[in-house]
Amino acid sequence: MSTGKRRVCFPITSRAYYGRSQLLIRKLHSHPGIDLQLMLGGSILLDKYSQHIADDIEKGGFSISTSYFNVIEGGNHVAMAKTACLTALEFTNGFHSIDPDIVVICGDRFEQLAIAMAAAYLNKTIAHIEGGDVTGSIDESVRHAITKLAHIHFVTNADAERRVQAMGEDPRYVFNTGSLDLEVASQVRIALTNEQVNSHGVGHSVDITRPFLMVIQHPVTTEADNRAHLETTMRAIAAIDMPAIWFWPNADAGTGEMSESIRHFREHHAAITDKIRFITNVPVDEFIGLLRLTACLVGNSSAGIKECSYFGTPVVDIGARQQGRLHGEHVTHAPYDADAIARAIRAQLHHGVYPSSSVYYKPDASQTIVDLLSGVELYTQKRFCDPQLTS
List binders of a copy of itself among 40-59 (CB under 8 A).
45-48
Which residues, 184 to 203, sit near a copy of itself by CB under 8 A? 202
Which residues, 298 to 357, sit near a copy of itself by CB under 8 A? 320, 323-324
* CA angle, residues 222, 225, 229, in degrees to nearest 5: 110
- Beta bridge partners of residue 66, listed in sequence order: 39
**Strand-pair category, 202-203 with 276-279:** antiparallel
Residue 78 Cβ vs a copy of itself, minimum distance, rounded to whole Å: 5
Which residues, 93 to 112, sit near a copy of itself by CB under 8 A? 93, 96-97, 110
Q: Report the residue number, 183 or 252, with the smaller CB distance to a copy of itself.
A: 252
| C-alpha–C-alpha distance, residues 249 and 262, integer Å | 10
Q: Report the residue number, 247 or 354, with the smaller CB distance to a copy of itself.
A: 247
Backbone angles phi, psi at 390, to 5 degrees: -100, -15
HSE value, Cβ hemisphere, 13 Å, CA-based, for 311: 28
| C-alpha–C-alpha distance, residues 141 and 78, integer Å | 17
Among residues 186, 222, 367, 374, which is the contact residue for a copy of itself, using CB under 8 A?
A: 222
Backbone angles phi, psi at 192, to 5 degrees: -65, 140
Which residues, 117 to 136, sit near a copy of itself by CB under 8 A? 117-118, 120-123, 134, 136
Q: Report the residue number, 80 or 216, with the smaller CB distance to a copy of itself.
A: 80
| Region near a copy of itself per CB under 8 A, out of 5-13, 65-73, 205-213, 238-246 | 65-73
* CA angle, residues 241, 252, 161, in degrees to nearest 5: 95
Residue 274 near a copy of itself by CB under 8 A: no
HSE value, Cβ hemisphere, 13 Å, CA-based, for 238: 15
Among residues 54, 92, 225, 376, which is the contact residue for a copy of itself, using CB under 8 A?
A: 92
| 356 DSSP assignment | P
Q: Report the residue number, 77 or 269, with the smaller CB distance to a copy of itself.
A: 77
Distances, alpha carbon 312 to alpha carbons 217, 243, 294, in Å:
20, 20, 11
Backbone angles phi, psi at 385, to 5 degrees: -90, 110
Backbone angles phi, psi at 275, to 5 degrees: -110, 15
Residue 324 Cβ vs a copy of itself, minimum distance, rounded to whole Å: 6
Which residues, 347 to 386, sit near a copy of itself by CB under 8 A? 380-384, 386
The site string for a copy of itself over 67-86 (x = CB under 8 A, - otherwise) reads xxxxxxxx-xxxxxxx-xxx
Distances, alpha carbon 285 to alpha carbons 184, 186, 249, 347, 367, in Å:
9, 11, 19, 28, 20
Q: Report the residue number, 73 or 339, with the smaller CB distance to a copy of itself.
A: 73
The site string for a copy of itself over 141-180 (x = CB under 8 A, - otherwise) reads xx-xxxxxx-------------x--xxx------------
Q: Report the residue number, 134 or 347, with the smaller CB distance to a copy of itself.
A: 134
